[in-house]
Structure 1
Amino acid sequence: MTTQTNVAVSRRHPILRTLGIILAAFVFLIVLLIIFWRWDWFVPTINRRMTAALHRPATISHLHVRLGFVTTVTVDDLDIKQPEGFEKEKEDFASAKHITVSANVWRYITGHGIALPLIAVDTPRGDIVSRLDGQNNYSFSSGKDKSSSSSSGDLSSLPKIGEVRINDGDVRLALAKMKTDMRVLMHTTPPKGDDEGSIVIDLKGRYAQAPINGHIVGGSLLTLTNETRPYPIDGRLANGPTYVTLRGVVNDPLHFKGTNLDLHFAGPDMALLYALTAIPIPHTPAYNVIGKLNYTAARIRFDNFEGRMGSSDIGGNIAVDPRAKPINVDARLHSHRVDLADLGGFIGAKPGKDESKANTASNQILPDQKINVPKLNAVNAHLTYHGDHIENKKMPLDNIDTDIVIQDGAIDVKHLNFAVGNGTLAMAATLNPAKNEEFATKLRVDVSRLSIQRLMQSTGTFKGEGTLGGHITLTSTGNSVANLVANGDGGITLVVDHGGDVSALLPDLMGLKVGSAILSALGIPQRSDLQCFIADMPLRQGIIRTNSMLLQTSNTRTIGGGTINMRNDTLDYHVDTRSTGLNVLSFPGRVNISGPIKSPAIMPGAEIIGRAAATAALAVVFPPAVLLPTIQFGVGKGSVCEQALAEVNTRPASGIKPGATTGKGAPQVRAAPAPAATHHGKAKKGHVTNTSDAAKVHQAWERKLNKEH
């Protein structure tokens, strides 16, 4: 029995010894593996998979892993090359000396989600390029992959991050469509005590073709995901001559729950803000405004802003819905004191003092700045603006009130009203897109009881009463104020009732340096009282012709005829003046006015030349007879004003009867005019008076208007 047992033990001994050797070898191999283990063995595999996933060569040089409940992974010398088609770029698409990520493995295993206590990036570099043809180097997925991208913004799916460190970051942005090539330099500052640290961003280069220089300090990147802690921002940005500062906090920025930010804009022209805001704004003079930037119902709002624009103050509220396509803008603006010259950009003129300089150097009398159709199509907007008091050297008005809607590239000027004493200058217009980036336009201007004395207040030379009334209409296709008129059809019907001192009125109201010379050539004596002025002039294809043009003073009667060419801003006009009674020492007759509208040539007609020649001859032959050619016996004073007004009311060139737009009788209406033409009833023959007294002419006019109503 004992012998058998010994035999069995001796047989098992080699097996145990063999197992011991194997176990020892295994332990030895593990020790060797631990001693000689290199995580770099996985680098080729990682490089292959990154290259396949990013569709461009991508490599790392070393991989370091420190295992534990919190495992730390570090990669060295990350380098991602440019994709196919961008190989000629001077820089790689992305690189970094080191990237370190710590992950709480135990938290993940126990089902509490992903936690990353640390993300650190050392010396990151980037080169983001987008070309004019739409190609870019930052699209990683193919068309098939795009459908799988998630649009979820749920913060619960994001990992919990403890700290983010960025050291010496430098990213180039070259975006051809935005005409931008700039560098974004960034780094983070470490937490100190209660300070959680910050991210610092500097911008250098060119943005929208203009130099850009910015410095922005934000709170810790972790605060961006903190729903309860406001995220601080303090930044300044200079884009060309435009200067912007932003200071305050954003509440839960990933969900846009609100802000408390002071926003300051300053620059030479608000039109330059388009590059920063994507909102098209007409040209303006220099401005400086500050207000509150807020989020309200997913809208970005610039609330209670105030400041200066040229010589005017400006304030109000602007709301932008960036989610709408195109973006939607609602602007409610106001001014307490406004200079009309500052608003020139809104009608295509150069704003402020530049406009007067431009007018001096050019014969162009209407603004020719074209409407920027791409910018107009980039926004749907509703603009209301009210100016409490208007200051303008040429024509001081009382206030301005306007309501404009831009929708799908169409412009609807619901009203643009100016108050002048008890009168109004009211405009309504629609501009609908047509071919060749032009606009099919309908315009109506209603002039109602504008006080001539109020209009002439700035000159200090006019005394008297009287009102201006009538209508202007235009139907045209074009892309600027100038070519709309040059291509247009419509008419002008204007009436001045008992306008005071004509020698002070017309030179200033016409805005012509040669105004006084015209009056002198017409033979109108100084300080003549204007009894009436009627202009009824149709516009056909940019040419203004004359149905009726009458200017009657207490001494003379002037009839006009001819054309005004708005295609080239010239005129070919003549006026005939006759004395209404016996007049000595006068050469009235026909005067020809031609050439540029701004500076026309004034030439006397044959009758005036003949009278002057006869006077010269008689002065030589028989000096006492020198007065004979200057004597006029008059054409009679009569009721020409009422007759001309009756004709204008029958067939007005503007298509709208002047009706009761002058005088003091009816109460003033300040509502915006309707686009469609309306009138006050059929015209009746005026009452005939045989007196030349201005007051009686005025009374006859009032009786006529009362009959029409």
Structure 2
Amino acid sequence: MTEPDTIAADTPPPTPATAPPPDRPKRRRRGWRIAGIVTGAIVLLLVVLALLFRWDWLIPLIDARASAALGRKVSIAHLHGHLGRTTTFVADDVEIANPDGFDADPPLAKIEHLTVSLLPLAWLHGQGIVIPEIALDHPEFAARGKADGSNNWGFPGLAKKPGAPASSSPPPKIGALRIDDGTGSVIAPKFKANIKAKFHTVHEDDPHAARLLLDADGTYAKQPISVRFSGGSLLSLQDHDNPYPLDLKIANGPTHASLDGTVDDPMAFAGAKLKLAFSGPDMALLLPLTGIAIPHTPAYSVTGNLDYRKSHIVFDDMHGRVGHSDLNGRISVDPHGKVPDLDADLNSKNVDLTDLAGFIGGDPGGGAKVPHKNKGVLPDQTFNVPAIRSLNAHVAYRGAHIEGYSMPLDSIVAVLDLHDGRIRLDPLNFAVGKGQIQSRFDLQPRGHEFATTARIAFQKVDISRLMRATHMFNGDGHLGGQADLTTTGNSVATMLGNGNGGITLIVDGHGDISALLHDIAGLEIGPAILSALGVPERADLRCFIADMPLRDGILSTKTFLLQSSEARTIGQGTINLKAQTIDYSLTTRSSHFTVGSLPGPVNITGPLDGPSIRPGAEIVGRAAAATGLGIVLPPLALLPMVQFGVGEGACTEALQETKQAPAAKPIPAGRHHRHG
């Protein structure tokens, strides 16, 4: 037998490659059987879970997560869920507790039923969280504050931490908000507020037509308050094709405010078409509503357009009246800094300066009254330094025409800068005829007072304009000079009472003046009789000098001289601005031989708001002598009333002395060139 035959006989025939192992079908059938058992077990488990599951099992997890997020205890009594294309969860008896330090009852919020609808498929398809509806059934809110400013409605844990990265997740898309029978209350001693409110939504077939209504009444800032609000649904907040409508009316004591219109993007407060109107007896009463300290004003009524542009609240196209003055312009407020930053450009066509008296602590016109400590002519209302520090501001104001029968000023330009309590008023300019009174003030806070410097320049002030305001005298020429003040205090009265500086006023020729000025100053009777007979009342004005230093609130007299072609009047004495009293004398002597005059001093003494004006001993003596001689021999009665004249040579020397060392420091040229 050959070798191949041996091999063929001993070796079994090969198995075809495509033939399965004899036991593999068994293993496959066994795998399917195991998978079926596992799947059945899972299905059975799900069925069992579905039959036995209670949504309340999730309450501990939800309570813990919500409590951690809000920084206070959140509890839910029961939770119900309905799964589907629109998944709905209902939480019963939701309660949000107060933070530590507040009474447990009442809690911040209680909601009888809170219903939230979700669209799971929208989230699976990458559309974010979509919440078609949130419904609150009988919500109750109890906001509580303390005198130190702490409150139970703040959620510091929700605030974005500085430097934290911005969330890449889009915010939830919320549809309709439905509220049934909502109530709320606010008690905040810091704001002197105790308010109760009712609110609910009105549902319409069109979700865009749904409205949120709120009515609130109570007290705020010790004044009765009522609030009426009507706004669009929450769905409208994110619907740019349908502007959000709102109508708000507030009455806080005698102050009334209304806001009406639409906002294109309420979440960013952009695209506002809102009409704001407010009125009341005094703008100072707006502080509780606006947080902005405004000086006392007379009754006002102002309207304008309200918008939000580039992080600024803008009150534009403003027009109205404050007292007897019209007020127009634009106000912009940036509320995002440490304190609000206000920028205003205001103007008046006609302004009554008495309406602005509250800005220096005086009584404005129109019935508004400022509380005063003492009686006197100088405003003593204290400036509230903490309130002034609560705002930074830049205000430009122009009054085209100053009204007032006795006001010798024609127009006003003022620019005020307020930063960290420091007040700079530069310029504060008044036009007087063809001349100007230009001034600047700088008030720097020092505790509860201000360290103040002031400089005033009188540039070619029109005497004829000053005299017309008296309705008694006439005159012509130009007045020049300056005044300066360095002081401390917290009111106009204390600042002047503590002041140092002086005032220098000069008229150097080229004018004329009413002769009646000398008549009154010297009780002369001759020129008065002549004027009654038609003799001209005006005399050539040679000079006028008032050079009066101010030391510790006392204004003394270095020079007081009024020289005309007819007479010379000299003043001596002091004006005590701290005590608000005057002790002064005016002596008039005729420049020429005069018959019918009683020369001598006229004394002015007493409080500034009601001084006594009495003739001095010389005048009384001459009058008594004239009376006695008139009884004995009538023609001799004229002898005590004869003046032989003092001439006109006093001006030159007085002018030289005053110009060499004036009581008020001269203001450098070019310092008063700004006009706001």
* TM range, smaller chain: 0.7 to 0.9
Match of residue 280 from structure 1: 293
Q: Give 1:146-225 correspondences, 5 Å limit.
A: 157-193=170-206, 195-225=208-238
State how far apart, in whole Å, the 1-side matches of 2:628 and 2:616 are.
Answer: 19
Of stretches 395-404 and 385-394 in structure 1, the one that deviates more from structure 2 is: 395-404
State how far apart, in whole Å, the 2-side matches of 1:328 and 1:588 are.
Answer: 61
| Contact 2:281/2:368 (8 A) holds in 1 | no
What is the DSSP-based 3-state SS (H/G/I as helix, E as strand, rest coil) of the residue aligned with 1:648?
Answer: helix
Aligned-pair distance for 1:379?
1.6
Q: Given the superposition, is the C-alpha separation of residues 492 and 220 from structure 1 closer, same or farther in structure 2, using an over 3 Å criterion?
A: same
1:230-279 per-position Cα deviation (integer Å, ceiling 9, x unaligned): 22222222122221111222122223433121111211122222222222
Aligned-pair distance for 1:117?
2.1
Consecutive unaligned residues of structure 2, counting only runs of 5 or more, are 1-36, 532-536
Match of residue 259 from structure 1: 272
1:192-235 per-position Cα deviation (integer Å, ceiling 9, x unaligned): 23743121122322233322212121111122123454222222
| Residue 401 in structure 1 maps to residue 413 in structure 2 | yes
Aligned with 2:316 (options 300, 303, 306) = 303
Aligned-pair distance for 1:417?
1.1
Match of residue 108 from structure 1: 123
| Residue 119 in structure 1 maps to residue 119 in structure 2 | no
| Contact 2:601/2:618 (8 A) holds in 1 | yes
The letter of the residue matching 1:95 is K
| Contact 1:363/1:596 (8 A) holds in 2 | no
1:85-144 per-position Cα deviation (integer Å, ceiling 9, x unaligned): 32275x3321111111122233334443222222100111111112122433235678xx
State how far apart, in whole Å, the 1-side matches of 2:475 and 2:463 are.
Answer: 8
State how far apart, in whole Å, the 2-side matches of 1:395 and 1:641 are.
Answer: 30
Match of residue 349 from structure 1: 362
What is the DSSP-based 3-state SS (H/G/I as helix, E as strand, rest coil) of the residue aligned with 1:157?
Answer: coil
Match of residue 398 from structure 2: 386
Match of residue 611 from structure 1: 622
The letter of the residue matching 2:651 is C
State how far apart, in whole Å, the 2-side matches of 1:522 and 1:550 are.
Answer: 21
Match of residue 641 from structure 1: 651
Match of residue 97 from structure 1: 112
The letter of the residue matching 1:75 is A
Aligned with 1:520 (options 501, 519, 523) = 523
Match of residue 572 from structure 2: 561
| Residue 414 in structure 1 maps to residue 430 in structure 2 | no
Q: Given the superposition, is the C-alpha separation of residues 122 and 382 from structure 1 closer, same or farther in structure 2, using an over 3 Å criterion?
A: same
Match of residue 556 from structure 2: 545
State how far apart, in whole Å, the 2-side matches of 1:357 and 1:500 are.
Answer: 41
| Contact 1:179/1:207 (8 A) holds in 2 | yes
Aligned length: 630
Aligned-pair distance for 1:549?
0.7
TM-score under structure 1 length normalisation: 0.80
Match of residue 662 from structure 2: 652
| Residue 291 in structure 1 maps to residue 304 in structure 2 | yes
| Contact 1:432/1:441 (8 A) holds in 2 | yes
Give the number of the structure whose alpha-carbon radius of gyration is greater.
2
State how far apart, in whole Å, the 1-side matches of 2:356 and 2:330 are.
Answer: 18
State how far apart, in whole Å, the 2-side matches of 1:149 and 1:495 are.
Answer: 62
The letter of the residue matching 1:585 is G
State how far apart, in whole Å, the 2-side matches of 1:485 and 1:77 are.
Answer: 66
State how far apart, in whole Å, the 2-side matches of 1:136 and 1:262 are.
Answer: 32
Match of residue 373 from structure 1: 385
State how far apart, in whole Å, the 2-side matches of 1:587 and 1:358 are.
Answer: 45
| Contact 1:313/1:336 (8 A) holds in 2 | yes
Percent of aligned positions that are identical = 44
Aligned-pair distance for 1:596?
0.9
Match of residue 85 from structure 1: 101
State how far apart, in whole Å, the 2-side matches of 1:438 and 1:210 are.
Answer: 30
| Contact 1:453/1:462 (8 A) holds in 2 | no
Q: Given the superposition, is the C-alpha separation of residues 94 and 669 from structure 1 closer, same or farther in structure 2, using an over 3 Å criterion?
A: closer
State how far apart, in whole Å, the 2-side matches of 1:72 and 1:355 are.
Answer: 59
What is the DSSP-based 3-state SS (H/G/I as helix, E as strand, rest coil) of the residue aligned with 1:370?
Answer: coil
The letter of the residue matching 1:633 is F
The letter of the residue matching 1:117 is P
State how far apart, in whole Å, the 2-side matches of 1:523 and 1:483 are.
Answer: 44
| Contact 1:522/1:576 (8 A) holds in 2 | no
| Residue 233 in structure 1 maps to residue 246 in structure 2 | yes
Q: Given the superposition, is the C-alpha separation of residues 77 and 273 from structure 1 closer, same or farther in structure 2, using an over 3 Å criterion?
A: same
State how far apart, in whole Å, the 2-side matches of 1:492 and 1:169 are.
Answer: 67
Match of residue 671 from structure 1: 673
State how far apart, in whole Å, the 2-side matches of 1:324 and 1:669 are.
Answer: 33
| Contact 1:169/1:187 (8 A) holds in 2 | yes
Of stretches 531-540 and 274-283 in structure 1, the one that deviates more from structure 2 is: 274-283
State how far apart, in whole Å, the 2-side matches of 1:236 and 1:95 are.
Answer: 28
Match of residue 132 from structure 1: 147
The letter of the residue matching 1:421 is G
Aligned-pair distance for 1:318?
1.0
Aligned-pair distance for 1:447?
1.4
CA RMSD of aligned residues (A): 3.6
Q: Given the superposition, is the C-alpha separation of residues 670 and 394 from structure 1 closer, same or farther in structure 2, using an over 3 Å criterion?
A: farther
Q: Given the superposition, is the C-alpha separation of residues 108 and 353 from structure 1 closer, same or farther in structure 2, using an over 3 Å criterion?
A: closer
Q: Given the superposition, is the C-alpha separation of residues 521 and 63 from structure 1 closer, same or farther in structure 2, using an over 3 Å criterion?
A: farther
State how far apart, in whole Å, the 2-side matches of 1:582 and 1:356 are.
Answer: 53
State how far apart, in whole Å, the 1-side matches of 2:358 and 2:156 are.
Answer: 46
Of stretches 341-350 and 603-612 in structure 1, the one that deviates more from structure 2 is: 603-612
| Contact 2:296/2:364 (8 A) holds in 1 | yes
Aligned-pair distance for 1:634?
2.1
| Residue 430 in structure 1 maps to residue 432 in structure 2 | no
Aligned-pair distance for 1:653?
0.8
What is the DSSP-based 3-state SS (H/G/I as helix, E as strand, rest coil) of the residue aligned with 2:347?
Answer: strand
